Amino acid sequence: MASVSVNVDGLANSEDWEGRYFHVDQILDRPGPRTDPSFLAGDKVKDFLRNKCKILVIGAGGLGCEILANLALTGFKDIHVIDMDTIDISNLNRQFLFRPADVGKPKAIVAAEYVMKRVRGVKVTPYFGKIQDKDVDYYMQFNLVICGLDSVEARRWINATLVNLVDTENPESLKPLIDGGTEGFKGQARVVLPTITSCYECSLDMLNKPTAFPICTIANTPRLPEHCIEWASVLEWPRIHGEKKLDTDDPEHITWLYAAAAARAKEFNIEGVTYSLTHGVVKSIIPAIASTNAIIAASCCNEAFKIATSSAAYLNNYFMLIGTEGIYSYTFEHEKRKDCPVCGGELLEISISHETTVEQLIEMLTERQTIQIKKPSLTTSTKHIYLQGPPQLEQATRPNLEKKVSELVEEGDPVNVTASTLPFTLELVIKYT
């Protein structure tokens, strides 16, 4: 007799139904040849995964749905999810946590409810809004962050936030970031250990250049339907609507662009301008492929599981998948960039007296043999201390030269130093003696 009763719908009504962890426990109950020395096989690691580990999923779209389902089924029980979007009918072919009746509702909330309904004992806490709404304390509460995002901007933001969160005095402040991304048949999964391994910003130059057409071509000699659409959005929209911003999420705006682009296409005998192409071009949409999402999400969750449990070596640090012609994948270590504006740069602690003036500080910097700096410009996040140029700004900040640094900069307030001799940025942390 099984000790767990089974409901008519086939789901166990106890939280951890019999056999739930049978397969996962094969990995967690004993160390293997590739497990980390710190791996605590058995109850300890299971307790961490199932009762203590708090994981944040950013994005509840194509990747996010897969990630949420995978995590819940692997045994993560405290999952948070953020997404600022609502469900569109075109999402339903691959975002399997949503149903036609959900169209228009927030993705994060619907996804969280669905996962909790299907996988007993998992708590999914949704937030319908932007990642930028949340502060440092919010991100501090998680052990791990997984991203399934579609925008470079959001990735850069979360990457910079997690890098800046790192406080060497507090190991808990280092939050591994697992970033998944797909574009048609291509995808990538990577593990970022903020400040330790290469970060998202380090690899920005690997991004494909967005296709931009020369403005004179779109203005004069359009040959492609895309040229007509770009003409409508780049030149015609601002000409007709002035300051009014184009909202690519507003169907009325897209309809207007479509009409303008279609008229222009007719004038130049160009075929192929459609509403969906217009929408696609202005939002730079690349068709999403469900199977690419499934592979990348699986890879991300596999990494999350390995990092959370130390049960196997984690990805170091970049996995790319190219499914355009057959299946090809390549894993390599992307190196940290020394001059990365987020995780690179150098940090210099400097002790000065309360009486030291800005001019004296600049002199101290230029005399330092170790940094070889010439004509440094200094700012904090809120004000300019001294700028070497252009002339107007140099004049505006010149009076600061005679002021005491302590009047302008609070202790511990980072000061950004740039100079032509520095290929990277230097951050000063000032201590007053």
Using CB under 8 A as the binding rule, the residues of this chain from 349 to 378 that contact another protein are 375, 377
Q: Which is nearer to another protein, 9 or 205 (CB)?
A: 205
Instruction: Report the alpha-carbon distance of residue 30 to residue 412 in Å, rounded.
Output: 46
User: With CB under 8 A as the contact rule, which of the stretches 99-107, 119-127, 210-218, 323-331 interacts with another protein?
Assistant: 210-218
Applying CB under 8 A, the span of 13-21, 58-66, 151-159, 356-364 interacting with another protein comes to 151-159
Tokens at residue 4, please? 């767990």
Q: Which stretch binds another protein (CB under 8 A): 75-83, 247-255, 272-280, 412-420?
A: 412-420
- Tell me: does residue 213 bind another protein (CB under 8 A): yes
Q: Which is nearer to another protein, 290 or 371 (CB)?
A: 371
In the set 147, 216, 300, 301, the catalytic residue is 216
Tell me the site size for another protein, rule CB under 8 A. Answer: 76
Among positions 83, 102, 179, 201, the unique one binding another protein when judged by CB under 8 A: 201
Among positions 99-128, residues that touch another protein (CB under 8 A) are none
Q: How far apart are CA 110 and CA 96, in angstroms?
A: 11
Site string for another protein, 303-342 (x = CB under 8 A): ----xxxx-------------------------x----xx
Which of these segments, 1-9, 74-82, 255-263, 343-351, binds another protein (CB under 8 A)?
343-351
Contact between 238 and another protein per CB under 8 A:
yes
Is 216 known to be catalytic? yes
* Min CB(3)–another protein separation in Å: 31
161-180 residues near another protein, rule: CB under 8 A:
163-168, 171-172, 174, 176
Q: How far apart are CA 71 and CA 77, in angstroms?
A: 8
Is residue 392 part of the contact set for another protein (CB under 8 A)? yes
Considering only 34, 396, 410, 411, the residue that binds another protein (CB under 8 A) is 396
Sketch the per residue contact string, 27 through 56, with another protein: x for CB under 8 A, - otherwise: ---------x-xxx-------x----x---
Count Cβ atoms below 10 Å from residue 10 Cβ, excluding itself: 6
Burial 48-63 (b: 16+ CB within 10 A, else e): bbbeebebbbbbbbbb
Under the criterion CB under 8 A, does residue 212 sit at the interface with another protein? Answer: yes
The span of 12-20, 114-122, 123-131, 411-419 binding another protein (CB under 8 A) equals 411-419
Smallest distance from another protein to CB 357, Å: 20
Nearest to 56 by CA among 130, 142, 114: 142
Confirm or reject binding of residue 343 to another protein (CB under 8 A).
yes
393 binds another protein (CB under 8 A): yes
Indicate which single residue of 152, 263, 327, 364 sits in contact with another protein (rule: CB under 8 A). Answer: 152
- Between 335 and 355, name the residue whose CB sits nearer to another protein: 335
| Cβ-Cβ contacts under 8 Å for 339 (sequence gap 6 or more) | 345, 423, 424, 425
Smaller CB separation from another protein, 321 or 409: 409
**Residues noted as catalytic:** 216
